[in-house]
Structure 1
Amino acid sequence: MTRALLRDLYTALAAALLVTAAVLVGRHIQHSHHTLFVNWPPLLATWDPHVGPGTPAALVVGAAGVAYGPTLAARLPWRALLAAAWATATAWIASLALIDGWRHGIAGQLTSRHEYLQVIERFDDIPSTLRDFTRHILLESPDNWPAHVAGHPPAAPLTFVLLDRMGLRGGGWAGTWCIAVGATACVAVLVAVRALASESLARRAAPFLVLAPAAVWMGTSADAYFAAVAAWAVALLALAVSRRSLRWAAAAGLLFGLTCYLSYGLTLVALIGSAVLLLGRRHVRERPTLLAVLVTGLAVVPVAFTLAGFDWWEAYHLLVKRYYQGVGGIRPYGYWVWANLACTVLITGLATPPGLRRAGAVLVRPRTEPPGHAHLALLVASALLALLVADLSGMSKAETERIWLPFAVWLLPACAFLSRPRVWLTAQAVLALLLNHLLLTGW
């Protein structure tokens, strides 16, 4: 066993111990003080060993991904690889969700009292609803919004309103939308890694992006959709700077603007975008109009919502008040500030901490590494920084298994640095299968 592999195993063991500590300490706090408001800390889940209609498919997809994923990722033509990655990720997410059955796993997730589909009828007059949106955020306000609607800018509920207007009504269509769109996040990350680092690193990262344990939550939460929009914003920016394309810069700006109106916390994706601009600074200097076009595209969605009467900053400040009016004001920061990181281990898998260790080593000695490795390490580091800022803010106490999906997908490419990929892929797939079969997740 090489010294590097031994260090990888020690890192994975440390990550597993972090999760174990979060479970044991969390159970003690919840049993003694009842202040965590989760049944199986650090996850919003309940211990419930079960199988379901998605079990056979999940086992097949997981086994096939481990057995053939690395080989296919290395040999398929690039466009075929992207198509295969999306199709396999969709199958993996859907099969895991269906372990809990169609109703609980997919169709019912976005119809609960906290979710977006509860407010469809209140958007009959969209301009009027946008003008009055901030008046219903606080708990004491009349007809206050459900938790998830109050906790996000109006582009989030508007997405499902528009689906409803198109005839795609109900939780089944909403869940299918989140799965199909959310699965494209892995494609976006592959596009960005290829543009900024190298195609070989993107190919090595592909199986880990597809078989990520995050898929357990990608099929049951609108945050999967948010993650995809944010990922494509970064990917299009990567294409813009690598190809010096004004068209891609405009599209990237438009999606960055939309990202900020899907979730307040996703303004931190700007840190990943800044890393992209840093990596492509030579191309930006050669064509400075890229930044002007990017900023112009970025302004479109904010200007549109502002003209419609929605004040992003006012809404955010009201959200902070509401957050501390509810369980956010009770959940102990001292536990969640490190237990959230245990959640990150569970959604990115035991392969990712060793990958991050190797990425850190690359950043320490960038000039001795193969071409592209330092670029990938910097991209991953920017995502880790965004996640840590979100953690320290205190606005992400619990439920980060879904909230941090937009950041987690950018940590997974670090697995491209690992040796023996099938061993680590097996650990990833087994963890996802165990999580979905042993726990009944809340998302």
Structure 2
Amino acid sequence: MCRLDLAAAAAGALLVIVAAVVGTVIERANGSLHVNWPPLYASWFPHLGPGTPAALVVAAVVILHGPSLAARLPWRRLVLAGWAAGMAWTAALALIDGWRTGIAGRLTTAYEYLTVIRRFDDLGPALRGFTQHILDNAPDHWPAHVAGHPPAAVLTFVGLDRIGLGGGGWAGIWCITVGTSAVAAVLIALRALTDEPTARRAAPFLVLAPAAVWVGTSADGYFAAVAAWSLALLALAATRRTGHPAAAALASGLLFGLTCYLSYGLTLVALIAAAILLLTRTVRPLPLAAAGAALVAAVFTLAGFSWWEGYHLLVERYYQGAAAVRPYAYWVWGNLACTVLITGLATVAGLRRVLVAAPTALRGLRPSAGPLRAPSDRLAVLVLAVLLALLVADLSGMSKAETERIWLPFAVWLPAACAVLPDARRRTWLTAQAVLALLVNHLLYTGW
């Protein structure tokens, strides 16, 4: 195993340890972090559960057979197999906490969406008055997660309830099923933007990403998948790897619009979309994608919800709570420790190789240089765009803590960097990914 890869992984582990030690000291001194097990929103709670045997089996199968299956399965079967394996891994991890605690009860707590379903029985007035309940001192103010997101987030669960799939169980199944489809979306985008061998090498790492601990079960996992499919469809439209590029561009825009009305912060997905257009040296999909996004915005605006008003009120609400005392000086780097935990040490090692290749890749983006030919260079540009989005989110100060959940829409892309790790060590790195996820889920009770 390359010593520099090991050094990068060790540096990632050290960052987590330092964040844990420093965070614990701060929390015990003044309680300003508002987390029990910094840098994660979690509590120390060693336990086993019904999902333990299944998680061990899934991990073993992916570690032992994932690389070879990814290399030889027909492409469409690989995409479906990746989704299915990701779903099995995520569900097994969630069930370590049991059905009620791990899945069915996650979205029914006082902070979550399902507590306000009945307030949307009359949909028109609920949307027109949505912003009136964002502030913490407003009458009948929304719970934290409803107030912290545009209404498409809660409307998803209202819609499930309307079609007879109400309650926490169905909501949890929805988030896991849709959320894990991000594996398929990222695979499709990688194949379109780099090449098929790169996507195949990344597949097992996308499946065993420790982020699965939070995809099951949180609405942010669902948001991550919507954003991922928007980008995947844009990649297909830009590279014309589909027989219907116009339809793909329009669908990409519709999903991007939905993404922005699921979470204010996911407007940063536009940075990754820009990188896709830069890589493919085309703006052909842009008019239809923009039309799709504008259509979603128009629907919500005509229904009475103002995105900009909601955003400004959210910022005010954000600083009415724990964010007012959570120290920026800790979280601006503590968030990066969270990112190590959700993407894994193999991803850190892969990112080292990507960053080494970055100068060459970026020089190749000059108009006079022609299109980037090397798949590794194209992968580097894509990953750098994701890192840029994370950096902007981090520096904004609107992501102080809980980024293990909030940053899932960006984190699902980063394990793609593992495609550049040496083939001979892939099972070792996959083992590191699985062990980290298993340790987190068995030793901690993760919030949200």
Superimposed CA distance per residue, residues 333-363 of structure 1 (whole angstroms, 9 cap, x where no aligned partner):
0000000000000000001111111111222
Q: CA deviation at 1:304?
A: 0.2
One of 333, 336, 347 as aligned partner of 2:331 = 336
Q: What does residue 44 of structure 1 align with?
A: 41
Q: What does residue 368 of structure 2 align with?
A: none
Give unpaired runs (5+ residues) of structure 1.
none
One of 110, 114, 127 as aligned partner of 1:113 = 110
- What's the secondary structure of 2:149's corresponding residue? coil
One of 25, 28, 31 as aligned partner of 1:31 = 28
- What's the secondary structure of 2:315's corresponding residue? helix
**Partner Cα distance (1:396, 1:222) in 2:** 17
**Partner Cα distance (1:275, 1:291) in 2:** 13
One of 119, 123, 133 as aligned partner of 1:122 = 119
Give unpaired runs (5+ residues) of structure 2.
365-371
Confirm whether residue 265 of structure 1 aligns to residue 265 of structure 2.
yes
* 2:226 alignment partner AA: V
- What's the secondary structure of 1:141's corresponding residue? coil
Confirm whether residue 296 of structure 1 aligns to residue 291 of structure 2.
yes
Q: What does residue 310 of structure 2 align with?
A: 315
**Partner Cα distance (1:77, 1:293) in 2:** 31
- What's the secondary structure of 1:356's corresponding residue? helix
Q: What does residue 367 of structure 2 align with?
A: none
**Partner Cα distance (2:426, 2:92) in 1:** 23
Superimposed CA distance per residue, residues 281-318 of structure 1 (whole angstroms, 9 cap, x where no aligned partner):
24x3xxx4x32111111111100000001000011000
**Partner Cα distance (1:318, 1:164) in 2:** 28
TM-score by length of 1: 0.97
* 1:168 alignment partner AA: L
Q: What does residue 75 of structure 1 align with?
A: 72
* 1:37 alignment partner AA: H
One of 349, 373, 381 as aligned partner of 2:376 = 373
**Partner Cα distance (1:74, 1:214) in 2:** 24
Confirm whether residue 347 of structure 1 aligns to residue 352 of structure 2.
no
> What does 1:175-186 align with in structure 2 at a 5 Å threshold?
175-186=172-183
Confirm whether residue 427 of structure 1 aligns to residue 422 of structure 2.
no
- What's the secondary structure of 1:365's corresponding residue? helix
Superimposed CA distance per residue, residues 344-396 of structure 1 (whole angstroms, 9 cap, x where no aligned partner):
000000011111111112222347x9721111110010000000100000000
**Partner Cα distance (2:224, 2:405) in 1:** 10
**Partner Cα distance (1:438, 1:173) in 2:** 27
* 1:148 alignment partner AA: H
One of 419, 440, 444 as aligned partner of 1:439 = 444
* 2:72 alignment partner AA: R
- What's the secondary structure of 1:440's corresponding residue? strand
CA-atom RMSD, angstroms?
1.2
One of 192, 197, 202 as aligned partner of 1:200 = 197
* 1:431 alignment partner AA: L
**Partner Cα distance (1:225, 1:240) in 2:** 23
Q: What does residue 355 of structure 2 align with?
A: 360
- What's the secondary structure of 2:445's corresponding residue? strand
Further displaced range: 235-244 or 21-30: 235-244
- What's the secondary structure of 1:100's corresponding residue? coil
**Partner Cα distance (2:100, 2:271) in 1:** 37
Q: CA deviation at 1:96?
A: 0.2
The number of aligned residues is 435
- What's the secondary structure of 2:40's corresponding residue? coil
Confirm whether residue 417 of structure 1 aligns to residue 414 of structure 2.
no
Q: What does residue 156 of structure 1 align with?
A: 153
- What's the secondary structure of 2:96's corresponding residue? helix
**Partner Cα distance (2:150, 2:406) in 1:** 14
* 1:141 alignment partner AA: A
**Partner Cα distance (1:316, 1:363) in 2:** 34
Q: What does residue 249 of structure 1 align with?
A: 249
* 2:417 alignment partner AA: A
**Partner Cα distance (1:117, 1:364) in 2:** 47
- What's the secondary structure of 1:110's corresponding residue? helix
* 1:277 alignment partner AA: L
**Partner Cα distance (2:54, 2:137) in 1:** 46
TM-score by length of 2: 0.96
Q: What does residue 274 of structure 1 align with?
A: 274
User: What is the aligned-residue identity percentage?
Assistant: 68
